Every structure is written in C-alpha cells, then in structure tokens.
Amino acid sequence: MIRVEAAVKRYGILPALDGLDLSIGAGEAFGLLGPNGAGKTTLVRLLATLASPDSGRLSVGGHDTVTEAAEVKRLIGVVFQENNLDRDLTPRQNLSFHARLHRIDAADEAVAAMLTRLGLAERADRPVNGLSGGMRRRLVIGRALLTRPRVLLLDEPTTGLDPAIRRDLWALIRDIRDQGCTVVLTTHYVEEAENLCGRVGIIDRGRLVAIGSPTELTARFGAARLEDVVVALAQTDGEAA
C-alpha cells in the first residue's frame, strides 16, 4: 500500500530524511517512533503530498505522491498535530463544510453518522470552542474519516492529552484499524505504538534504524520493553543492531 524508496528531504543543508526505505502493507497499522527532528512529520507530509522529496520516490496505493498527487489524495485522510478546526463553527458545521468540499454523497447523512460514531451527537450544534481537547481531537479524526480513506495518516494525534482521553482515542483508532484501513501513526508515546501497531519503525536523523513488531524488537535488542529499545538506540546515536 505504501512504498518509500531512498527518500531524501533536506531543509537547508540538514537532511530531514536521509535515504529512507520503508514498505507498509494494506490494512497494516504501522507506528513511527523517534526523537523530535528525527523525520517522522516530514515523512507524513511527503506521503500526504504536502511536500516533495529532493530525491527518491514515495507511492500510496501504487500512485506516485508527486506525479499522481490527485490520486493519492483520494486515498488518504490526514490528521496533523494541530487542531485546525474552525472553533466558531459547530462540529456539524465543520464536518458539513469538509463533506461538501470533497463532494461526499448524501453529505448530511454521512455527517450525522460520523457525529454519532464519535460520540458527539449531543454536542453537534454547540461551538467547537466549548468542546474539551479530547472531543476536538475526535472531531479532527472524524473529519479525516468522512471520505472513507484507505490510508489514515496520524501525526502525534494524542500529544498533550491526559491518559484517560488518550485511551479513549486509542479505542477509536483501533476501530478504524480493525475495519481494514491502513494506519500510519507517529507518536512519542511508546505505549501508544505498542497498543495500536503491529509493526513499528524507529527513525533517527532521517534514517530507519530498526523495524519490526514490538515483540521482535525487544527480543532482538535484549530489552524488557520497547521503550528500552528506543532509549538504547538514542544513546548509540541511532546505530541499528
């Protein structure tokens, strides 16, 4: 479903991605771990067609993210760290605007069903500004799901939320994953990747330094927890074993 081949992206002289290779299968939930500045968000931006690689190639569903960007956009939903909702509008109005922008059939019915799925039906007509942080994050994810994407890109979707709200969002992401959507998740929370992802990749300085299931990685590095693997790689400057 997703292929990244020798992807390089520089900002100035610094490489955000440095020859990254990665393959993610259809229906897979894949987690990206790594320190700030490792290249996780850059990779999401390239997959979302919001930036182009300096060299290398990325594809989603067999479509090149540069030369076939329109086709890629039809396949994906994207949730970035920022809650870029219109806070003066209601949840229903935010979703309705998105549905009409993307020419979704039976938009009113689709919006109503999504509000119910998100547990926001009772707050559908109140301004977004009055919702809790967790509710706003649910709404952002629901907006991305309105187009029924085959791939959902989530860039640190639960950053800054308290543990109870975070686990509430995990349940929503599991539901999306279990319905066969390919999920790519960047996160700083190792527990989040362990709970949601069948495989994880650890990125450091734009390079993939380790990849596998949480169980495989802990066994390979002789660690008790996946978090210990991430810390060990950081302490060795990202040198993969």
**Residue located via tokens 């393959």:** 23
pLDDT of residue 241: 42
Residue 80: how many CA atoms within 13 Å on its side-chain side? Answer: 13
Residue pLDDT tens, the chain, 241 long? 999 999 999 998 889 999 999 999 999 999 999 888 889 999 999 999 999 999 999 999 999 999 999 999 999 999 988 788 888 899 999 999 999 988 998 999 999 999 999 999 999 999 999 898 889 989 999 999 999 999 999 999 888 888 888 888 899 899 999 999 999 999 988 899 999 999 999 999 999 999 999 999 999 988 888 888 888 887 666 555 4
Residue 83: how many CA atoms within 13 Å on its side-chain side? Answer: 21
Helix (H, G, I), strand (E, B) or coil at 200: strand
pLDDT of residue 16: 94
- Crossing angle for the helix pair 133-145 and 91-101, to the nearest 10 degrees: 20
Domains of the chain: 2-85+149-235 (3.40.50.300)
Q: Which two tokens stand for residue 166?
A: 């975070």
| pTM of the predicted protein model | 0.90
The DSSP letter of residue 124 is T
Residue 139 CA to residue 95 CA, distance in Å, equals 8
The DSSP letter of residue 154 is E
Residue 57 CA to residue 115 CA, distance in Å, equals 37
pLDDT of residue 239: 54
Residue 157 CA to residue 31 CA, distance in Å, equals 12
pLDDT of residue 111: 95
